[in-house]
Amino acid sequence: MALYAIGDLHLHFQSELKAPGQLRDRVWKNHEEKFRKNCEKLITAEDTLVLIGDHSWGKNLSECEQDLQYICDLPGRKILTRGNHDMFWDAKKTKHLNDLYQPRLTFLQDSYEVYHDYALVGTKGYTFEGPFWLDRRGRIVDWDEAEEAHAKKLVERELARLRTSFELAQADGYRKYIMFLHYPPTNILEERSGFTDMAEEFGAEQVIYAHSHGESRFHDSIHGEFRGIMYHLASGDYLRWHPLKILD
């Protein structure tokens, strides 16, 4: 029995592909097939796979049906969290998705799931990476304050959702946590954030995040141990479509 995670499948069986990099970069060529084969080699019916956002390019649920069916057909128990491109998933209507897909898929939002004596908690998160303007030496020379104010609201909303997830698990007696985000826990300018602080507050053992694509973005946030917590990037292209093992 094992717990695995990966993010950013960016499936598009029924929808238009919107990321040009996904056409050019070899790592994305037939990635659905590579990933399916890797899962079939690695994951058994007793295992759990957490898919941490950006599941589909589809604009609505009907454009995502084949993408979600592909995920249903992967081995093991599947838990999904939201990514920034998951237009089919309104956070306030998560119950509707669970009504449609459980027990084949579980959509985690303002809730938690159990793996052994661990609570699996999470939300989409948010990292504000600008807009700022840099000079030739990479120094910040200007900043859009209206955008920053908007971003702060998004961060607060996501932190509240994450706290709900932790507190529900805590109220049910769980004391061991694995925390999942779609966005990296910090932006490229931060060492800490509200998300790393919350992971520390509740004593999460690991924080798993995705969203960073391409070699130039893989090191935007924390890798490895930081203040007693293990951080792992699990975007699909970073992992070359091999699910990351989180726990035995």
Q: How far apart are CA 202 and CA 193, in angstroms?
A: 14
| 3, 5, 8, 198: which one binds Fe ion (CB under 5 A) | 8
Q: Minimum CB separation from Fe ion for residue 12, in Å? A: 12
CB of 234 to Fe ion, least distance (A): 11
> Which residue type occupies 86?
D
- DSSP notation for 50-112: EEES--B--SSGGGGHHHHHHHHTSSSEEEEE--TT-TT--GGGHHHHHHHHTTTEEE-SSS-
| The one segment of 7-15, 67-75, 110-118, 190-198 that binds Fe ion by CB under 5 A | 7-15
**Closest CB to Fe ion among 174 and 235?**
235
For residue 211, state whether it binds Fe ion (rule: CB under 5 A): yes
Name the residue nearer to Fe ion (CB basis): 77 or 85.
Answer: 85
Residue nearest to Fe ion (CB): 54
Residue type, 181: L
b (16+ CB within 10 A) / e for 57-84: bbeebebbeebbebbeebbbbbbbbbbe
CB 108, min distance to Fe ion, A: 16
Tokens 């020379």 appear where? 141
Residue 77 or 182 having the CB closest to Fe ion: 182
Structure tokens at 148: 């920053």
Q: How far is the CB of 54 from Fe ion (least distance, A)?
A: 3
Provide the 10 A C-beta neighbour count for residue 206: 19
* Region near Fe ion per CB under 5 A, out of 6-14, 62-70, 171-179, 220-228: 6-14
Query: Applying CB under 5 A, what is the total number of residues that bind Fe ion?
Result: 5
Is 6:49 a contact under the CB 8 Å cutoff? yes
Select from 4-12, 39-47, 68-76, 223-231 the region that touches Fe ion (CB under 5 A): 4-12
Whole-angstrom distance, CA of residue 182 vs CA of residue 211:
6
Residues whose CB falls within 8 Å of the CB of residue 173, separated by 6 or more in sequence, listed in order: none
Q: Shortest gap between Cβ of 57 and Fe ion (angstroms)?
A: 10
CB of 212 to Fe ion, least distance (A): 8
Q: In whole angstroms, what is the distance from residue 38 CA to residue 36 CA? A: 6
Considering only residues 181-200, where is the footprint of Fe ion by CB under 5 A?
none
CB of 128 to Fe ion, least distance (A): 14
Using CB under 5 A, which residues numbered 66 to 105 contact Fe ion?
83-84
Instruction: Give, as ranges, the residues between 9 and 68 that touch Fe ion (CB under 5 A).
Output: 54
Binding piece for Fe ion, criterion CB under 5 A, among 98-106, 113-121, 167-175, 211-219: 211-219
Site for Fe ion, rule CB under 5 A: 8, 54, 83-84, 211
